[in-house]
Structure 1
Amino acid sequence: MLRVTLRDLQWRRRRFLIAIVGTSLVFAMTLVLTGLSNGFRVEANQTADALGFDTYLVRTGPAGPFIGSPPFPQSEVTTAARLPGVTAAVPLVYTATTVPDGDSTRNVNVFGAPAQGPGMPPIASGRAPAGAEEAAVSSTLGVEIGDDIEIGSSAIRIVGIVDDSTALAGQPNVFLTVAGAQQMGFNTQPIVTSIGIRGTPAAVPDGYRIIDRAGAVADLMRPMTAAVAAITMIAVLLWVVAALIVGSVIYLSALERTRDFAVLKAVGVSTPSVLAGLCLQAVIVAVVAALLGGLLSLVLAPVFPMRVEVPTSAFLLLPLIGVAVGLLASAAGMRRAVTIDPALAFGGP
């Protein structure tokens, strides 16, 4: 039965090749969409890691230390530093603004932190900002050390480059001193949007609450919630399309092999063996398409304008999912094979 199945694949190789190419494109797009969704979380985690805090102190009410966090007096940093369990308390300022990008503008995320200590990310080249008119920026912004750019309404000199630092779907991160961020976002008022804390406070001042690192990551992910849900829905639809492609080819093959199935049954081949041959065809098509789709996704990922981070688990699961899709898709063809009457083998043309 195996030889018969392989010979049928060879005989109808053009049709099966088209099915493999079409299914591999669907699998590749599914992997890319998975990587796109995962990229939102990867960049949020990298930003949180770069800041280097265990927890954040924020005013009661906001969802996290960044998006929509209401400001409060910078003097509260002294109070936070005295809390039991706190080894370091650092003022932080977050705001969003734009930078010129040719004839248009580009959104950036601005983080204000002390030049030394936690809050300022590792600098790939150059140095950390020391004054209010200096900044370290993500390498994705496309500027060089020594360039003067307009960030918001402020003229800022680039003194450092942070490697591939982005958030909120690929928006470059800009790191200023606390005074620089206050000047840009709050007209130099001595206020902050959160306090970064090393350690775990044993108590929290009235009117404030603690956000852990996972909560900070979720806060950076919050604007992407609808996008992630939409991407997930599209990925599910693509799996359906993949199943339909494989299923249609297997079903057409079953229709064309009606006389073949009848002959096989007439010579004593059992129905389960005939079904196994159809299943094997579907699995071969789906697995080969999954392997090609994985390679194709590696080619397509760098083309996307946003970060695409396909998790290793997705590559490992793809062949297994491909087998499941193949078996599911071959159901219609198997039903056709089961109903074949062996007497057809002795009928006329």
Structure 2
Amino acid sequence: MHPTRRPSDHPRRALAERAVPVGRRFLFADRRRATLTVLGVAASLLLVLVLGGIFAGAVDRVTYYIRTSPADVFVSQEGVRTMHMSASSLPADTPERVADLPGVAWASPIAFASGSVAGPQGRQLSYLIGYDAPTSRGGATRLVAGRTPIAGEAILDEQAANQLGIQLGDRFTVMGTSLRAVGFSTGGSSITNTTVFVELSEFARIHDARVSYVLTGLDPGADAQTVADRIEAEITGVTAQSREQFADSEARIVTDMSADLLRLMSSIGLVIALAVIALGLMTATLNRLRDFAVLKALGARIPRLAAAVAMQVLLTVVLASAVATTAALALAWLLPLAAPAVQISITTAAIAQTTSTALLVGLIAALWPLRRIASLDAATAFRETR
């Protein structure tokens, strides 16, 4: 004999089999409301992505010179691990001593100082880098116009040149010294500063004769960390780092300097975003509370109702994340056209973190109203939501 089946078994089984479609149908039953919910969540995610992207873009710009350098190892004064807000000074013979070590293919000095650059249309903070012009090691990574400078000449980042009204062949002022612009580079300007490149002898005339850092290229197959350790062991008074380590140190100090502002901006943006997401998804559940009560009256269990809500939240957040990511990538492309110094860097990690946070908050907010139905019997739940 077959066991007796209760009348409610079949509806429950049907609901169980259709738990996922229920969530999807609830979301899209009212297309207008669903669209507004998705767009509201997307706007919140976009705010978080853009705030984080602007800061990440600024860090990328600050570390651009290091990341694109041909050097595998950077040598600086002992204890100095960055260029930003740092002062490094090495003995004049340091490049020759580094070049003599095993595993080193070449060693080239650069001089570094902070100052300002002025043109017909204003003034801007600048890093001044003196380099060995004949080899171009330590100079601009890529020239978009012009040539290598000689005495009395300089290379200026094209974004700064446009802002300051400087054309090729024009004279402009760097740290109080008049120079002629003979080349334009790219990637050297950020929200706060730009970069000017001059020949080492010109740097000595503008500022002083110094070796700030030694850029070091390695022999094929040589390990950067091994060579860096060898440099520190053989030459006293220096710190040697691989290109990746040097860039990471630079990024950390920029992050630390901006930590308070970044924390404030991120906190405000995150609170606003999470509040909008929580309110939107909680409202979506409340608007369907009577439908959930009907389902419970028909025999649905709370876990099945929760699964339907979870699917509704998942679909909403995924769609919103896709919209926000598309909009953020479009802004990352369009904004530099209007404000070249501003760069937005949207990473996969940032998208994943923002989406997962939104999903967690959305689930909590959307499932919370189900407490009301869970604590009541089916008939009462239906009457309470009428």
TM-score by length of 2: 0.77
Name 1:193's counterpart in structure 2: 212
Find the partner of 1:247 among 270, 278, 290: 278
Counterparts of 2:58 and 2:21, CA distance in 1: 47
Amino acid at match of 1:330: A
- 1:53–1:277 distance in 2 versus 1, CA, 3 Å: same
Query: How has the CA–CA distance of structure 1 residues 243 and 115 changed in structure 2, closer, same or farther, with 3 Å as cutoff?
Result: same
2:147 to 107, 127, 134: 127
Q: Residue in 2 aligned with 1:261?
A: 292
Report how far residue 256 of structure 1 moved: 4.1
Contiguous gaps of at least 5 residues in structure 1: none
The answer for the alignment partner of 1:285 in structure 2 is 316
Aligned partners of 2:257 and 2:34: how far apart in 1?
A: 37
1:270 matched residue in structure 2: 301
| Equivalent residues in 2 for 1:97-246, closer than 5 Å | 97-100=115-118, 104-117=122-135, 118-120=137-139, 121-129=141-149, 131-141=150-160, 142=162, 143-166=166-189, 169=191, 171-186=193-208, 190-199=209-218, 200=227, 202=230, 203-221=233-251, 222-227=253-258, 230-231=261-262, 234-235=265-266, 238-246=269-277
Rounded Cα–Cα distance in structure 1 between residues aligned with 2:121 and 2:217? 42
Q: Measure how far apart 1:229 and its partner are.
A: 6.4
- CA offset digits 1:34-65 (Å, max 9, x no partner): 32232244334431144321222222232335
* Inter-partner Cα distance in structure 2 for 1:63 and 1:343: 70
2:98 match: secondary structure: helix
User: Per-residue CA shift, 1:95-140, capped at 9, x if unaligned?
Assistant: 11112266642111111101122212332322111x2311112222
- AA of the residue aligned to 2:178: A
> Secondary structure at the residue paired with 2:108?
strand
Paired residues in the alignment total: 344
Q: Percent identity?
A: 22
Give yes or no for contact 2:277–2:358 (8 Å, CA) kept in 1.
Answer: no
Report the residue type matching 2:206 in the other structure: M
Match of 2:6 in 1: none
Distance (whole Å) between structure 2 residues aligned to residue 238 and residue 332 of structure 1 = 24
- Regions of 4+ moved over 6 Å: none
Contact 1:250–1:333 (8 Å) recurs in 2 = no
User: Would the alpha carbon gap of residues 132 and 216 (structure 1) be closer, same or farther in structure 2, given more than 3 Å must change?
Assistant: farther
Distance 1:262 1:57 in 2: 70
Which letter does structure 2 place at the counterpart of 1:294? Answer: T
In 2, the alpha carbon distance for the partners of 1:243 and 1:331 equals: 15
Structure 1 Cα separation of the partners of residues 373 and 262 of structure 2: 37
| Deviations 1:202-255, CA, capped at 9 Å, x for gaps | 343222232332342134332332325643664465445444323323333444
1:297 matches 2:297: no
Q: Match of 1:212, as an amino acid?
A: S
